[in-house]
Amino acid sequence: MNRQADTADPQQGARARAAGPGGPQGAPDAPELIAALQALRRAPRDGAGHWDQYCALIGPLCRAGAALLVQRGAGGWRLLGAHGAGDDWALRNWPDLLEQRGGERLDKGFALSPLHDDAGRLRILALVQTSGIGEARLVLEIAERERGQLNELIMRAMLMTDFPAQEPAAAPAAPAAPSDGPGPASVAMLDLVAQVVAERRFGAAALVLVNGLAARFGADQVALGWRIDGAMRTVALSHVDRFESNTEHVQLLDEVFLEALGRTAPLWFDAAEQAGEPGCETHARLARRLGFGRLYSRPVQQADGSAGAVLLFGFKERPCAPDDADLALATGFLQPWLDALQQRDRWWGLRLRDWARARLALLLGPRQVWRRGAVAACSLLLLFAVFGTWEHRIEANAQLTTDSTRLISAQFDGRVEQVHASAGDTVRAGALLATLDTRELRQQQLDLGAERQRLEAESDKARAAGNLAELGIASARAAQAGARQIRVAQYLAQAQARAPFEGVLVAGERKDLLNAPVKKGDNLFRIARIDGLYVEIMVPERDVRHVLANARGRLRLLSRPDQSFPFTLSAVIPMAQVKGQEGNHFLVKGRLLDAPEAWWRPGMSGIAQVDCGRRNVAWIVTHRLLDSLRMHLWWLG
C-alpha cells in the first residue's frame, strides 16, 4: 500500500520524509526527491502552495537549511515560495538579503555570499538563476559544514531551476514516455556532472566527462572537440589518457567536429542509410575507418548561442539516438565550467592577450581591435612626445675612488719571512701585515757590539798610557761602531710592516711576497680608506654641456646592479682626457650621500646616471641624431 501511494504521488511521499528523522521513514534520498521535483515541474503552477512544495523538495536535495524562491517585479522582489528546515533566519531576513545581494551578476548561473548572522555564525547564501518563470532567483542557505560539497549542491540546484514553459490552460500531464535510461535529472548524470566539477584541470575534467558518457550510454567511443583559437581540436577521447594530435585518427576527428559545428541540431548518422548524404562526408569516413555503424554528434552551445564544442558518440550497434535531454542539461551546466577551466589552463601570455583584446574592444569597438589599438597608442605616444616632458639623464662609466691611500714599503734590503695579509683584506690600524727576515741584522748587531767593546778597551788603554793620539782614534772608532749599532736597531724595529690606519689592502699579494727578496724602498702593500670614497665619472664630450653644477645622480655598481646609491656632483675637471677610440671625456667627481657599505672597494666600476633637468620628450629621443646631422651637414648652413 505505501509503495503504491508513493508511486501515485511522489511529491507527497518525498515531502513527508523531507520533514526529517522525526517522520516515519526518515530523510528522503536523492532519487526520490528528483522524481518528486520532476513530477512537480509537470504539474500546473497556479495551484495553492505549488512553489512552497518546490522549496520543500529542493531544500533537502541541496542540504539547505532554508530554500526560498523570489521573483523581481515592478515593486521589487516578492516571495513565491519558502521552506525552512532549521531556524528561520533566512525567512525573516530575506528582504534585506535580496536588497544587498540580489543585484549581483550571475555570470556562471550562481553566486555565493558568505554572511554572518546576528550571533556571529557563518552562513553561506547561494543565489541560483532560474529560467522559465521570469527574473527569479532560488535562494539557498547552506550550512558552513557543507562547504566541501558546495559545487555538487549548486549543480543539483541548477539542474532543478530550468522550468519548462506551460500553456495557460494545460491538460493534466501525461505519463512520461519511456526513454533510454533515467530522466533529464537522472541520478547517474547528476553523479557524472559532480565528478567533472570536482576536477581542477581542464584535461582531467574532459576525460572524466567522455569516460562517464561512454559508460552511461554504452558507446564504443566518445570524443570531445573544443574550439581553441578559432579551430576545432580534439581534447579528450574515452578510454585513452594520452594521444598525439598529429595522428590520422585525431585529425579525422577534428574534421568531424568542424562538420558538426556547422549544424544547429544534433546529428544521428546511420552509416548504412546516410553514407552518401551531403554534409555528412566526414562522418561517413570516420565510420568506415573505425567500423562504427552509427555516430551521434551534438554541438554544445555557449552562452551567446554559438557552438564552441562538440560531443561525438560512436556506436557499433544501437537502434536509436541517446536521450538528448540528459545531455542538454549536463552540457548546459558543464560548458561554462569547462570553458573557464580551459581558459585558466592556457599559457599566461594567451590569457593576457585575450584580456587586452576584450578591454580594447570595449573602448574601440569589436572590429579590427589590434589595428585600432595600435593607431590609438601611436597617437598617444606622439602627443606625449610633442607636449610632454621627462627627466633628462645622461649615463657614463664611473668608479669608486679614494685619495686616502698609503704605500707600505721595505725599510731595508732583505727577504720577506712572513706575510699576514693579502690584497682585498680589511685591516685595522696597527695590524701586522708582513715581517722581514732579521737574522743577518741581528748578527750585524752582535758584531757591532763586540767591535764597540774592543774599541772602548783600546781607548781606555791609550788613556792609561797617556797616548792622546791613540785615545782620540779609538774613541772615534768606538762612536762610529755605536752609530752603526743604533741604525741596525732601527732596522730591526722596522722589520714588521703594520697598517697605518684602518682600511682595505688594494695591492700586495701573499703568494708574490712570501720569501721574496726585496730592496729598500720596494712596495709591499697599498692600503686605502673606505670612508673616503667618492665617485669619478667619465662624461663623454657630447654630453658634458648638459651637466649642471651640484646636480644629483645615482650610481649602480657591477657587483650589485640591484642597488643604486645617490650622489651629488662636487667638481668638473675642465681638461679633457683622451680615451682611445671612445673620444674625449671629462672627469666629473661626485660625493656619495649615503654612508659607505662594508663591501665597497676602491676601483669598483659601474654606471652613473646624472640628472640634467626636465626636457621635452621628443628632444630627449632625437637630440643626438640631430647633433650628428648638424655635424655632418654643417656646410648646408
Predicted confidence (pLDDT) per residue in 440-485, tens digit: 888 888 888 888 888 888 888 888 888 888 888 888 888 888 888 8
Task: Specify the range with the lowest mean pLDDT, choosing from 186-190, 263-267, 590-594.
Answer: 186-190
Specify the pLDDT at position 305.
66
Pick the more confident residue, 156 or 523: 523
CA distance 491 to 498: 14
CA 372 to chain centre: 29
With cut-offs at 50, 70 and 90, classify the pLDDT of residue 108: low
pTM above 0.75, yes or no: no
C-alpha–C-alpha distance, residues 195 and 210, integer Å: 12
Q: Say if residue 559's pLDDT is above 80.
A: yes
> Over 70: is that where the pLDDT of 168 sits?
no
Mean pLDDT of 510-531: 87
pLDDT reading at 2 higher than 60: no
Buried b (16+ CB within 10 A) or exposed e, 62-76: bbbbbbbbbeeeeee
pLDDT at 378: 93
Task: Compute the distance between CA of residue 57 and CA of residue 502 in angstroms, rounded to an integer.
Answer: 87
Burial of 527 (0-12, 13-18, 19+ CB in 10 A): buried
Q: What percent of the chain has pLDDT over 90?
A: 16
Please give the CATH topology (third level) of the domain spanning 405-437+495-527. OB fold (Dihydrolipoamide Acetyltransferase, E2P) (2.40.50)
Asked if pLDDT for residue 16 goes beyond 60, the answer is no
Rounded to the nearest integer, the mean pLDDT of the chain is 81
Residue pair 211/204 in contact (Cβ under 8 Å)? The answer is no
Average pLDDT value for residue range 575-595:
88
> How sure is the predictor about 104, in pLDDT bands with cuts at 50, 70 and 90?
low
pLDDT at 172 over 90: no
pLDDT of 183 reads: 44
pLDDT band at 275, cuts 50/70/90? Answer: low
Amino acid identity of residue 73, one-letter, is G
**pLDDT at residue 359, as a whole number:** 86
The answer to whether residue 569 scores a pLDDT higher than 90 is yes
* Span 174-222, pLDDT tens digits: 343 334 434 444 567 777 888 888 888 899 999 999 998 988 888 899 9
Mean pLDDT of 140-154: 81
* Highest CATH level, class, for 2-159: alpha beta
So what CATH class is 533-636?
mainly beta
What is d(CA 299, CA 430) in angstroms, rounded to the nearest whole number? 89
Taking residue 420's Cβ as centre, other Cβ atoms within 10 Å add up to 15
Count the Cβ atoms, other than its own, within 10 Å of residue 389. Answer: 13
Q: Which helix (H) or strand (E) holds 325?
A: helix 324-345
Band of residue 557 on the pLDDT scale cut at 50, 70, 90? very high
Gap between the Cα atoms of 221 and 237, Å rounded: 7
Angle at 476 between CA 475 and CA 479, to 5 degrees: 85
| Percent of residues, the chain, with pLDDT higher than 70 | 89
CATH number of 187-346: 3.30.450.40, 1.20.210.10, 3.40.120.10, 3.40.190.290?
3.30.450.40
367-425 per-position pLDDT tens digit: 888 888 899 999 999 999 999 999 999 999 999 988 878 888 888 888 898 998 888 88
Torsion of Cα atoms, 13 then 18 then 22 then 25, to 10°: 40
- Band the pLDDT of 74: cuts 50, 70, 90: confident
Q: State how far the Cα of 551 lies from the Cα of 613, in Å rounded to an integer.
A: 9
Q: Where are the beta strands (DSSP E) in 212-324?
A: 221-228, 231-237, 267-270, 294-301, 307-315
3-class DSSP state for residue 634? Answer: helix
Helix (H, G, I), strand (E, B) or coil at 598: coil
Q: Give the pLDDT confidence score for residue 174 in this predicted structure.
A: 39
314-365 confidence digits (pLDDT tens) = 998 877 777 777 787 778 778 888 888 888 888 888 888 888 888 888 888 8
The pLDDT value given to residue 105: 65
pLDDT for residue 24 is more than 70: no
Q: How much is the CA Rg of the chain, to the nearest whole Å?
A: 47
In whole angstroms, what is the distance from residue 614 CA to residue 610 CA?
A: 12
CB-based burial label for 136 (10 Å; 0-12, 13-18, 19+): buried
Q: Tell me, what's the pLDDT at 47? A: 66
